[in-house]
């Protein structure tokens, strides 16, 4: 009954607060092989950082999110997603949400597909608009430099993973419809899929030609790494990452959302600061998206309000995207992905208590 009443109470979505939450991260020790979760029977994520596969159908993705406060007090949310296709082509997606006017958050960004290359000996992923590198001879993980300059967004940063990694599905891998039916190595459709949700970040972002220093103590990032057979692009999806004030991080996918906002399948992983992982079902009977908007440029439809029920965990999310037009499109004259990347915030009923949270929402529209 408590859960049902909470759902009813949260049906109307409102901004959690007139001011943005603090982006000051919790303190965690630098991630090492002994403290990052590997010792719980998982693989070493460092071994997945420098992979080159000549077969371009395999996803080879480095996905970065940043919640940034600059030294002059401004706040931005950034998303960068360099992807390596084979070893001659890269795809890039670049998004910046300007969060400094509470009455009107704004998004800029674009995508591309350009020549580039990787390296299987050490992390050295390069193209004209983006580079991801680690020092040669390092573990390809403890220190990562990310440099981008595209679509009016330039960053020059160095990140360091801290705390325990987030292993989606509990072990750092998921299975979607894949290629073939050979189960003797890994299941068809398998992909490595993990994240470090608490990167320290130093460096600058450049806006309107002026570099501004990032306030490291009031900013943090997330690195999500995926490699393998993963293809839901024809079905569409929405997913979100939620940072709760109690330190818990939740990632939820809803795949193949229908026109009415209901979905066909889903997955959810809950990460606790002590390393506990919970893999819970999403109650699709009480999960949906609504309030659609249509891009004036591409004609694609995006949802803007969401409710997601993790009934088995007695948890219920309500949230919205404060930026309705957060679509990232190919830059003029180029090919690239079309997708929405937006800061989001909302409330969650967690163990009988209503809590605010903030995070990121991504939506790939198939409509």
And the tokens for 272?
């606790």
DSSP three-state, residue 48: helix
CA-wise closest residue to 82 among 44, 51, 121, 112: 112
Closest-CA residue to 267 (of 361, 344, 174): 174
Q: Name the 3-class secondary structure at 73.
A: coil
Of 299, 364, 304, residue with least CA distance to 338: 364
Q: Coil, strand, or helix at residue 214?
A: strand
Give the helix/strand (H/E) hosting 3.
helix 2-9
Report DSSP state, residue 199. E
Q: Looking at domain 2-364, which CATH architecture does it have?
A: Beta Barrel (2.40)
User: CB–CB of 173/185 below 8 Å?
Assistant: no
Rounded CA-CA distance 31/20 in Å is 28
Each domain of the chain, given as residue ranges in start order, spans 2-364
- Alpha-carbon distance of 208 to 290, in angstroms, equals 35
Identify which of 113, 40, 119 has the alpha carbon closest to the alpha carbon of residue 83: 113
Tell me the three-class secondary structure of 306-349, residue by residue.
Answer: EEEEEHHHCEEEEEECCCCCCEECECCCCCCCCEEEEEEEEEEE
Report the sign of the C-alpha dihedral through residues 212, 213, 216, 217, in that order: negative
The distance in angstroms from the start CA to the end CA of the chain is: 37
- pLDDT in 10s for each residue of the chain, 367 residues: 333 334 433 433 444 446 899 999 999 999 999 999 999 999 999 999 999 988 887 889 999 999 999 999 999 999 999 999 999 999 999 999 999 998 889 999 999 999 999 999 999 999 999 999 999 999 999 999 999 999 999 999 999 999 999 999 998 877 666 666 666 556 656 678 999 999 999 999 998 889 999 999 999 999 999 998 776 666 789 999 999 999 999 999 998 888 889 988 899 999 999 999 999 999 999 999 999 999 999 999 999 999 999 999 999 999 999 999 999 999 999 999 999 999 999 999 999 999 999 999 999 998 7
Which of 136, 364, 331 has the alpha carbon at shortest distance from 254?
A: 364
CA-closest candidate to residue 16, choices 352, 343, 351, 362: 343
DSSP 291: -
pLDDT in tens, 166-186: 999 998 877 666 666 666 556
pLDDT given at position 321: 95
Six token digits for residue 339: 């997708």
Please give the full DSSP string across 233-276, using - where no structure is assigned: TTT-EEEEEEE-TTS-EEEEEEES--TTS--SEEEEEEE-TTS-
CB 141 within 8 A of CB 49: yes
CB 228 within 8 A of CB 62: no
Number of other CB atoms surrounding residue 7 within 10 Å? 16
β 237-243/220-228 pair status: unpaired
Q: How far apart are CA 331 and CA 92, in angstroms?
A: 10
pLDDT (tens digit per residue) in 31-76 = 999 999 999 999 999 999 999 988 887 889 999 999 999 999 999 9
């Amino acid at each position: 009954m408590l859960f049902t009443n909470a759902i009813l109470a949260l049906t109307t979505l409102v901004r959690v607060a007139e001011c943005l939450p603090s982006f000051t991260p919790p303190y965690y020790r630098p991630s090492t092989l002994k403290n990052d979760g590997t010792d719980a029977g998982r693989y070493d994520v460092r071994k997945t950082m420098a992979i080159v596969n000549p077969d371009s159908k395999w996803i080879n993705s480095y996905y970065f999110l940043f919640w940034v406060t600059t030294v002059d007090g401004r706040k931005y949310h950034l998303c960068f997603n360099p992807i390596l296709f084979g070893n001659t082509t890269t795809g890039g997606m670049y998004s910046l949400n300007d969060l400094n006017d509470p009455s009107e958050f704004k998004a800029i960004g674009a995508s591309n597909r350009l020549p580039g290359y990787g390296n299987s000996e050490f992390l050295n992923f390069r193209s004209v608009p983006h580079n991801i590198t680690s020092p040669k001879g390092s573990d390809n993980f403890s220190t990562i430099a990310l440099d981008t300059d595209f679509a009016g967004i330039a960053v020059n940063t160095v990140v360091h993973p801290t705390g325990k990694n987030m292993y989606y599905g509990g072990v750092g891998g998921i299975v979607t419809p894949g290629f073939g039916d050979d189960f003797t190595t890994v299941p068809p459709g398998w992909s490595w899929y993990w994240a470090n949700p608490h990167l320290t970040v130093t460096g600058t972002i450049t806006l309107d030609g002026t570099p501004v220093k990032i306030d490291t103590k009031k900013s943090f990032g997330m690195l999500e790494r995926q490699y393998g057979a993963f293809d839901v692009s024809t079905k569409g999806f929405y997913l979100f990452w939620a940072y709760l004030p109690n330190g818990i991080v939740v990632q939820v996918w809803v795949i193949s959302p229908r026109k009415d906002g209901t979905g066909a399948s889903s997955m959810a992983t809950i990460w606790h600061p002590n390393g506990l992982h919970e893999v819970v079902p999403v109650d699709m009977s009480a999960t949906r998206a609504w309030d659609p908007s249509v891009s004036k440029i591409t004609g694609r439809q995006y949802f803007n309000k969401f409710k997601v029920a993790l009934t088995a965990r007695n948890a219920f999310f309500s949230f919205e995207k404060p930026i309705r037009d957060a679509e990232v499109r190919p830059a003029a004259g180029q090919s690239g992905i079309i997708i929405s990347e937006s800061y989001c915030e909302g409330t969650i009923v967690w163990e009988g208590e209503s809590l605010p949270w903030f995070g990121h929402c991504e939506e790939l529209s198939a409509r």
